[in-house]
Amino acid sequence: MVARVAPFDFDACNQYLEELLAQTAVSYDAEQLNQLTTLIEMLNTWNGALNLTAIKDVRQMVLLHVVDSAVLVPVLRALMQQGQNIKTVADVGTGAGFPGLVLAILCPDLHFTLIDSVGKKLSFVRQVVAKLNLSNVELINKRCEEIKHEPFDCIVSRAFAPLERMVGWCLPLLASEGRFVAMKANLEADEIQAVPITVTIESVVELQVPTLDAKRQAVILRHAEAKTE
């Protein structure tokens, strides 16, 4: 039997999300704020049936899924300001849509492809895309090695495996001058040493997630032969 879902307080969630985002460099408008709150509402509703996330508390969903994803937006914008041509972005291992759905809401000028091999999670993502009318999102229900797709300008991922393995899966999908942005809790020295010589770690950006007492980093990688700006 599916556990009963507690009533969702849209306004309280919306206000809490706004308070957190106000402490970041993320730009958003009222419509985007409401879309992000609706995403949390749907995650809260569907989670019991589909087991989308181990996080059950709504405020923790806001912090650890939405805000933790949103802080990648300034990273993408900075890459673009540095001359990086980013129009297409893939989220590898998107799960219930993080960070991809959040980025798609906050960056409507970019096209996002959300990739995951778990169909039930993408069924949820598909419902969110339809509910929010996100015309800049497409879904691929396959493993990375099974995908035949035009190379992406940028790949993002909340790294679910050691960096070496992530590189092996993601780099074949990355355009020759593209950038791979891997979110890590903490980049260890042995992970850096294990990265293949076919890629270069361009930079490591410290991510600041309000009220979260944990390390977050965005590791930016490129093909070793790619040009730097």
State the Cα torsion 86-121-130-98 to the nearest 10°.
-40
DSSP bridge partners of 220: 181, 203
Q: List residues forming the annotated binding site.
A: 93, 98, 144-145, 158
Closest of 108, 134, 27, 22 to residue 74, by C-alpha? 27
Burial class of residue 101 in the structure, from the number of CB atoms within 10 Å of its CB (0-12 exposed, 13-18 middle, 19+ buried)? buried
pLDDT at 10: 97
Other Cβ atoms closer than 10 A to 131: 13
- The pTM of the full predicted model, rounded to 2 decimals, is 0.94
CA dihedral over 197, 177, 155, 119, signed as positive or negative: negative
Enumerate the known binding-site residues for S-adenosyl-L-methionine.
93, 98, 144-145, 158
Spatial contact of 72 and 183, defined as CB atoms under 8 Å apart: yes
- Provide the pLDDT for residue 181: 97
Q: Do the beta carbons of residue 92 and residue 124 sit within 8 Å?
A: no
pLDDT < 50 regions, the chain: 1-2
Residue with tokens 């569907």: 46
Q: Which domains does the chain show, CATH number per domain?
A: 10-67 (no CATH), 68-223 (3.40.50.150)
What distance in Å separates the CA atoms of residue 71 and residue 210, rounded to the nearest whole number?
A: 10
pLDDT at 2: 47
pLDDT, position 228 = 63
